Amino acid sequence: MYSSFYEGWFGRSNFYNWGYWTETTKNAHEACEQLTERLLSFLSEKKGPILDVACGKGATTRHLLRYYKPSEVTGITISDKQIQTCRNTAPGATFYQMDATRMSFDNEQFQAVMCVESIFHFNTKEDFLRQAYGILKPGGYLILTDLLFRGAVFSNETFHFRENNPPSITAYEALYKKIGFSEVEIADCTAQCWKAYRNHMLGYIFTKARSGKLDLLARCNEIALLLKMQLFLKHYVLVAAKK
C-alpha cells in the first residue's frame, strides 16, 4: 500500500482499491472516486453519522467530507501506521485502531456504515455484518463492495477465509437477510471494477516497462495476483443493506 509503485498508480491520492471505471475514466484516482460515489448513490440522503470501516490511508474518508461534517465522519482500521496517515489525509474526521469484527461502538450509533474492498479479509464476514447491523440506527444502511470467489482457492491464506465464500449471489444475499437486514440490493459490477482494473493495471505495467521506467521482473507479484484473480474471482459486487 505504501510502495512507490502503488502510490504512482493512484496518483499519490492515498486511495487503494480497484475503483469503478467507465469509458471516460482517466486514471485510478478518478476510478476510486467514482466507486465511492457509486456506493453513496445507494443512500437516499446523506446524513450522519457515518463510519468508514477498514479505511486504509483515509482517501475514502476524505471523500465523505464532501457531504458530511467532519464531526459526523469516523474511520477505523487495524493498522496504527494507517491511522497516522488517515489523520493527515482527512483532517477533522475521527479515527480509531479497531478490528472490524469486534467494534466497540454503541448500539444504533451510525446512520450509515461503509466498507470498501475489505470484508472478504475479515475473520469472519458474518461477524462483521452482525457488528454493523448492531451499530446501525433503524433505517440506516450498510454500503460496501465485496469479492466472491470460485471454490475455496484462498481458504488457508490470510487473504480469504472459507466461511467468507458463499456458493452463489443468492446464498450471499440470504446471509444479510439471516442477520436481519430488511432490504438488500446487490449490483454485480465485475466488468466495471475488477475487469477494468485488471486491463488498466496490465496496460500501466507494460507501458512503464517498455519506456524503461519500470523493471518488469520487479512487478511479478502484481502480475501473478492478477492472473490468480482472473482464474478464481467470480463476482465483484456492490451491496446496500437496510436495517
As a whole number of angstroms, the distance between CA 69 and CA 220 comes to 42
**Residues 35/19, Cβ–Cβ less than 8 Å:** yes
pLDDT of the residue at 160: 60
As a whole number of angstroms, the distance between CA 217 and CA 228 comes to 17
Condensed to tens digits (0 to 9), the pLDDT of residues 189-229 reads: 999 999 999 999 999 999 988 888 888 888 888 898 898 88
Of the candidates 112, 200, 122, the one whose C-alpha atom is nearest the C-alpha of residue 165 is: 122
Return all residues near 166 (Cβ < 8 A) that are at least 6 apart. Answer: 148, 172, 174, 175
The 3-state DSSP class for residue 159 equals coil
**Residues 63/41, Cβ–Cβ less than 8 Å:** no
pLDDT of the residue at 157: 52
- Residue 213 carries which side chain, given as an amino acid letter? K
Domain ranges of the chain: 4-15+22-190+235-242
Indicate the helix (H) or strand (E) that contains 43.
none
- Residue 81 carries which side chain, given as an amino acid letter? K
Give the pTM: 0.94
In the chain (243 residues long), the average pLDDT of successive 10-residue segments reads 94 98 98 98 95 98 98 97 97 97 97 96 94 98 94 53 83 97 97 97 92 85 87 94 98
Cis peptide before 49 (omega within 30 of 0): yes
- Within the chain, where are the H helices? 4-9, 28-40, 59-64, 80-89, 125-135, 169-179, 196-210, 220-232
Of the candidates 136, 130, 118, 142, the one whose C-alpha atom is nearest the C-alpha of residue 55 is: 118
Domain 4-15+22-190+235-242 sits in CATH at 3.40.50.150
Condensed to tens digits (0 to 9), the pLDDT of residues 42-68 reads: 999 999 899 999 999 999 999 999 999
